[in-house]
């Protein structure tokens, strides 16, 4: 059974999970299907595509932070791999 996610804007590079997802489960929104690379809980973010280190994280059409490392499609996107844009100065090397 496919799990559900929400994508609000075509520029988003993360989707919001509408239910808990186990590693390997398929997550879907309209014509987008992704396989979860790890377990991710309800309301957390999943990468819709590979996101390089330093790229903006876009949710609901708004920049919410930037990636501290490369994030693979289907990975959990949270405070362990992103930071707030206010902290961008001097954090990337």
pLDDT digits (tens, 9 = 90+) for 59-70: 999 999 999 999
pTM assigned to the model: 0.89
DSSP state for residue 57 in the 8-state scheme: E
The rounded distance, in Å, linking the Cα atoms of 21 and 19 is: 6
Percentage of the residues of the chain whose pLDDT score is greater than 70: 91
Q: Is 80 exposed, middle or buried (0-12, 13-18, 19+ CB in 10 A)?
A: exposed
Residue 90 has pLDDT above 60, yes or no: no
Asked if residue 11 is part of any domain, the answer here is yes
DSSP state for residue 38 in the 8-state scheme: S
Asked if residue 60 is part of any domain, the answer here is yes
Range of the domain at 23: 3-87
Q: Report phi then psi at 84, rounded to 5.
A: -70, 145
| 15-39 average pLDDT score | 96
Q: Over the chain, what is the mean pLDDT?
A: 92
Q: Say what the pLDDT of residue 11 is.
A: 97
- Domain with residue 64: its CATH number is 2.30.130.110
- Domains contained in the chain, number: 1
């Amino acid at each position: 059974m496919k799990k559900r996610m929400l994508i609000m804007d075509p520029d988003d590079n993360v989707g919001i999970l509408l239910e808990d997802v186990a590693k390997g489960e398929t997550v879907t929104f309209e014509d987008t299907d992704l396989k979860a690379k790890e377990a991710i809980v309800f309301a957390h973010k999943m990468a819709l595509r590979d996101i390089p280190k330093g790229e903006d994280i876009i949710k609901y059409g708004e920049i919410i932070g930037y990636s501290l490392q490369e994030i693979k499609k289907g990975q959990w996107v949270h405070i362990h791999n992103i930071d707030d844009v206010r902290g961008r100065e001097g954090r990337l090397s």
